Structure 1
Amino acid sequence: MSATHNHGHAHHGHSHGVTNERRVAIAMWITGGFMVVEALGGYLSGSLALIADAGHMLTDTGALALAWLAVRFARRPADDARSYGYHRAEILAAFLNGAAMMALAWWVIFEAAMRFMEPAPVLATPMLVVAAGGLLVNIASFWMLHGAGDSLNMRGAAVHVLGDLFGSVAAIAAAIVILLTGWMPIDPILSVFVALLILRSAWNVTRDSAHILMEGTPAGLDPDAISSDLVANVEGVVDVHHLHAWSLGSGRAVATLHARLAPLADAHAALAGIKARLGSHFDIGHATVQIEPGDCIDEARMDHKHDH
């Protein structure tokens, strides 16, 4: 059996990575700076909603720092130790961010349950002022991240900031209700509502990043459908097998496959056709293709075993 191997790469612009890095850094400093103000405001006012939001901001600052480092790492070129480069750094950061947010959401729910059993007084006026400032800060941070792409890493960071934004809205609503009615349970009730919203978003980011880390097949790619498509559309290809597809990072699908050719088929033309088809119809930017002019050696061995 003769084999031909070929690799293809898809690269993103250097300037795009630098822009994302700058946007994440600005969002990190904005969030981290106001986190101190909100924590102090929550402590002085006695508001669980503010304390929860300050906790979100603390994890946000860490999450944005991770995202910032991940963007820097992802721009580093491949080396002998990491031949695929550092794209997985972004996915690892997204996974850690999602897991941290899920843990924080459960902590808020637990604290809210404690507040129901032992109600605590809340100073609504300072709570309202701080929450309003937090809302403006979160809007600014979310706007910065919104223009920084749609990778899982950016999604993970944006989930944190979006959770904070919801937290600020909930804290404002709770402060207004307490000011108008004096009804204290609204504080833990809205805290739980926000925690559940965050839990759902954080779970999605954690699940998607874990799927990539486990080298699962990218969403929307069916190996059997790809094999059938290549046989039907690439001249000289009669069978495609051992096809595996996974992701290096968000939007960076890769694949390996064996392709058996018809007798006298042009191997170089078939190889070029396979790679072009994978790129144009399945958005697979990196492929390792093994061309087999005859039966697959694995199948030949199996047939030999059956004969005996």
Structure 2
Amino acid sequence: MHDHAPTGIRGASNRRLLATSLALTSVVMVVQIVGAALSGSLALLADAAHMFTDSAALVIALVASTVAARPANDRRTFGYQRAEVFGALVNGAILIVLSVWVAVEAVVRLLHAGTVEVAGGAMLVVAAIGLGANALAMWLLSAAQRRSINVRGAYLEVMGDLIGSAAVIIAAIVILTTGWTPADAIASLFIAAMIVPRAIGLLREVVSVLGESVPRGMHVQTIREHILTTPGVQDVHDVHVWQLTRGAPVFSAHVVIDDEALRTGRSGEILTRLQGCLAQHFDVEHSTFQLEPAGHADHDAHD
């Protein structure tokens, strides 16, 4: 007995948003690379490198979203929604590698402070362009990232870029007003330190999904209590809750119904109530219930 409603996370709108964000990120990345070459700013180059990984991550997200939109078949009965999770896994790995590279380069710059000239004016202009573009990309992805772990990975990277651009702007102002060039390397270290927690958080969520843990914010005991309030239900056991990807929880349970409900043919009504309860209160659109008469669970345990 199943309910196979679509999850709504695989729409073409997500792909359009990702494509638009990719175009913005790619253009700003090129501008930052040119700006870093002209100004000699490591922070700007680090932000450009982050933009490069963001572009790669958005390409991965776009491909994964397209793959995830493919329908289910006899080989993959849940479809390809897990492709989004694997895309997010790659995104997280890219962020970790990036943070290590930026940190090493920043330390080298600090050890050789005063040997590198940094043009604060060019640095400031390019960073301001990056800040505006990242703000626009974040706004475009803000709604979709709540429903898709893959889009959330892209959103977090763009958010990191926005904060990174702000740090570069502050460093540029310091250099322009005081001439203290180590501010550039310090901004680079800040960008590296900012990347790590986001990467770890994203990877933890990926592990949670792949490990089929109960989705964050959902509690099995609360769901069990809701089911037990349904008229005709005596007991519930073998409850399982997991998610295919962010926004796509899956539920299954064995539900014991009373003999009167079986005699009067109310099992279909009870099933409809149960599926409605899961959809309304817990946003579970794919639920599977096995309705059983009293004593059936004891029979299963004996077998």
Q: Which whole-Å CA distance do the structure 1 matches of 2:27 and 2:8 have between them?
A: 32
Q: Alpha-carbon deviation of 1:182?
A: 1.4
Q: Alpha-carbon deviation of 1:301?
A: 5.9
Q: Which whole-Å CA distance do the structure 2 matches of 1:140 and 1:227 have between them?
A: 43
Q: 2:2–2:286: 8 Å Cα contact kept in structure 1?
A: no
Q: Alpha-carbon deviation of 1:8?
A: 3.1
Q: Which whole-Å CA distance do the structure 1 matches of 2:300 and 2:2 have between them?
A: 25
Q: Tell me which moved more, 246-255 or 65-74.
A: 65-74
Residue from 173, 181, 199 that aligns with 2:196: 199
Residue from 102, 108, 116 that aligns with 1:114: 108
Q: 1:28–1:65: 8 Å Cα contact kept in structure 2?
A: yes
Query: Does 1:55 pair with 2:52?
Result: no
Query: Does 1:288 pair with 2:288?
Result: yes
Q: Which residue of 2 aligns with 1:74?
A: 68
Q: 1:159–1:198: 8 Å Cα contact kept in structure 2?
A: no
Percent identical: 40
Q: Which residue of 2 aligns with 1:209?
A: 206
Q: Per the alignment, in what secondary structure is the counterpart of residue 12 of structure 1?
A: coil
Q: 2:3–2:285: 8 Å Cα contact kept in structure 1?
A: no
Q: 1:92–1:213: 8 Å Cα contact kept in structure 2?
A: no
Q: Tell me which moved more, 60-69 or 102-111.
A: 102-111
Q: Which residue of 2 aligns with 1:278?
A: 278
TM-score, normalised relative to structure 2: 0.89
Let me know the Cα RMSD of the aligned residues: 2.2
Q: Which whole-Å CA distance do the structure 2 matches of 1:228 and 1:182 have between them?
A: 65
Query: Does 1:34 pair with 2:28?
Result: yes
Q: Alpha-carbon deviation of 1:139?
A: 2.5
Residue from 16, 25, 31 that aligns with 1:22: 16
Q: Give the 3 Å change call, closer, same or farther, for CA 302–75 of structure 1 in structure 2.
A: closer
Q: Which residue of 2 aligns with 1:185?
A: 182
Q: Alpha-carbon deviation of 1:291?
A: 1.4
Q: Per the alignment, in what secondary structure is the counterpart of residue 220 of structure 1?
A: coil
Q: 2:145–2:155: 8 Å Cα contact kept in structure 1?
A: no
Q: Give the 3 Å change call, closer, same or farther, for CA 296–186 of structure 1 in structure 2.
A: farther
Residue from 69, 91, 103 that aligns with 1:97: 91
Q: 1:228–1:240: 8 Å Cα contact kept in structure 2?
A: no
Query: Does 1:263 pair with 2:249?
Result: no
TM-score, normalised relative to structure 1: 0.88
The residue identity in structure 1 corresponding to 2:57 is: A
Q: Which whole-Å CA distance do the structure 1 matches of 2:279 and 2:142 have between them?
A: 27
Q: Which whole-Å CA distance do the structure 2 matches of 1:279 and 1:23 have between them?
A: 27
Q: Alpha-carbon deviation of 1:258?
A: 0.7
Q: Deviations over 1:187-211 (max 9, x none)?
A: 1212222322232223222222321
Q: Give the 3 Å change call, closer, same or farther, for CA 220–128 of structure 1 in structure 2.
A: closer
Q: Mind listing any 5+ residue stretches in structure 2 that lack a counterpart?
A: none
Q: 1:109–1:191: 8 Å Cα contact kept in structure 2?
A: yes
The residue identity in structure 2 corresponding to 1:37 is: V
Q: Alpha-carbon deviation of 1:303?
A: 5.4
Q: Which whole-Å CA distance do the structure 1 matches of 2:13 and 2:24 have between them?
A: 17
Q: Mind listing any 5+ residue stretches in structure 1 that lack a counterpart?
A: none
Q: Per the alignment, in what secondary structure is the counterpart of residue 291 of structure 1?
A: strand
Q: Alpha-carbon deviation of 1:186?
A: 0.9
Query: Does 1:165 pair with 2:162?
Result: yes
Q: Deviations over 1:151-193 (max 9, x none)?
A: 2222211111111112212112112211221112211212222
Q: Give the 3 Å change call, closer, same or farther, for CA 140–228 of structure 1 in structure 2.
A: closer
Q: Per the alignment, in what secondary structure is the counterpart of residue 2 of structure 2?
A: coil
Q: Which residue of 1 aligns with 2:6?
A: 10
Residue from 138, 141, 150 that aligns with 1:142: 138
Q: Which whole-Å CA distance do the structure 1 matches of 2:257 and 2:272 have between them?
A: 13
Q: Which whole-Å CA distance do the structure 1 matches of 2:250 and 2:13 have between them?
A: 26
Residue from 117, 124, 130 that aligns with 2:126: 130
Q: Give the 3 Å change call, closer, same or farther, for CA 142–222 of structure 1 in structure 2.
A: closer
Q: Which residue of 1 aligns with 2:240?
A: 244
Q: Alpha-carbon deviation of 1:106?
A: 2.8
Q: Per the alignment, in what secondary structure is the counterpart of residue 259 of structure 2?
A: coil
Q: Which whole-Å CA distance do the structure 2 matches of 1:13 and 1:221 have between them?
A: 19
The residue identity in structure 2 corresponding to 1:142 is: M
Q: Per the alignment, in what secondary structure is the counterpart of residue 77 of structure 1?
A: coil
Q: 1:131–1:172: 8 Å Cα contact kept in structure 2?
A: yes
Which of structure 1's runs of 4+ aligned residues deviate more than 6 A?
A: none
Q: Tell me which moved more, 284-293 or 88-97.
A: 88-97
Aligned length: 296
Q: Which whole-Å CA distance do the structure 2 matches of 1:104 and 1:181 have between them?
A: 29
Q: 2:6–2:285: 8 Å Cα contact kept in structure 1?
A: yes
